[in-house]
């Protein structure tokens, strides 16, 4: 966690949290998307990084809204320390590419991981099932005292579970994956989780001091 926290961040997060419901579309069960200030402060990424990620999310949502409301309805965003994971299903390849292009325009973005699918299938039943999977996994992680669940974002699209966030170690991440495997209807697990002590995290944090 950051050793020093700017108190102005508290007000900044509160402001963004108020704006997020109006700017965000169909988001998955992402830890931190609508987190409170207290929750953000408890995350491995720390309060300042949580505020930066929330600012990035707000900006991407605004860019998407200006471009096409379909992106807000069909695509989802998970962010961890400037790493942006895009998921969901859109009807055309052009819209998929537009989502990535616009995401890169947000200040503070370090990486964009594009997992958006192009498909015209889906429907209410598929969305409900995916939401159930995400909620079920989140509950399992919360009840597992060997997993710091607050550090993980979860989104499910077509039975594929996408993981984003920061793991304490490889053993913890494997526990998370095992929980996902045990849930009905899960077809595949895709992890973009990084380790707590991964060199690139230390490098990024050192640059901000």
pLDDT given at position 4? 42
Q: Domain limits at 43?
A: 8-118
The answer to whether residue 37 scores a pLDDT higher than 50 is yes
pLDDT given at position 181? 97
Domain end position, chosen among 75, 90, 118: 118
Section 123-141 average pLDDT: 91
- Phi and psi torsions of 44, nearest 5°: -60, -35
Q: Which runs of consecutive H residues, i.e. helices, occur in 24-123?
A: 37-42, 46-67, 69-74, 93-103
pLDDT given at position 199? 82
Q: Check whether residue 175 and residue 134 sit in a common domain.
A: yes
Euclidean distance between CA atoms 109 and 106, whole angstroms? 6
Q: Check whether residue 52 and residue 114 sit in a common domain.
A: yes
- Residue 206 in any domain: the answer is no
Arithmetic mean of pLDDT over the chain: 82
Provide the domain count of the chain: 2
Between the two ends of the chain, the Cα-to-Cα distance in Å is 12
Q: Which residue has the higher pLDDT, 162 or 10?
A: 162
Q: Check whether residue 112 and residue 133 sit in a common domain.
A: no
Residue 40: pLDDT band (50, 70, 90) is low
- Residue 145 in any domain: the answer is yes
Section 160-165 average pLDDT: 97
Q: What is the CATH number of the domain that holds 176?
A: 3.30.1340
Q: Check whether residue 41 and residue 106 sit in a common domain.
A: yes
> What does pTM read for this prediction?
0.75
Q: Which residue has the higher pLDDT, 120 or 198?
A: 198
The answer to whether residue 157 scores a pLDDT higher than 80 is yes
pLDDT tens profile 56-65: 999 999 999 9
Q: Check whether residue 155 and residue 65 sit in a common domain.
A: no
């Amino acid at each position: 966690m950051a050793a020093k926290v700017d108190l102005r961040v508290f007000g900044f997060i509160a402001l963004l949290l108020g704006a997020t419901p109006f700017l965000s579309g169909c988001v998955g069960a992402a830890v931190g998307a609508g987190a409170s200030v207290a929750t953000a402060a408890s995350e491995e990424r720390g309060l300042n990084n949580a505020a930066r990620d929330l600012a990035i999310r707000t900006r991407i949502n605004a860019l998407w809204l200006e471009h096409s409301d379909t992106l807000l309805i069909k695509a989802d965003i998970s962010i961890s320390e400037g790493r942006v994971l895009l998921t969901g299903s859109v009807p055309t390849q052009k819209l998929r590419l537009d989502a990535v292009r616009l995401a890169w325009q947000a200040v503070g973005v370090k990486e964009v991981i594009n997992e958006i699918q192009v498909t015209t299938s889906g429907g209410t039943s598929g969305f409900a099932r995916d939401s159930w999977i995400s909620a079920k996994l989140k509950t399992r992680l919360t009840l597992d005292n060997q997993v710091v669940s607050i550090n993980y974002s979860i989104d499910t699209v077509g039975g594929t579970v996408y993981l984003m966030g920061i793991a304490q170690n490889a053993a913890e991440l494997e526990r998370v994956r095992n929980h996902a495997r045990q849930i009905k209807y899960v077809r595949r697990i895709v992890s973009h989780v990084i380790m707590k002590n991964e060199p690139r995290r230390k490098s990024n944090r050192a640059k901000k001091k």
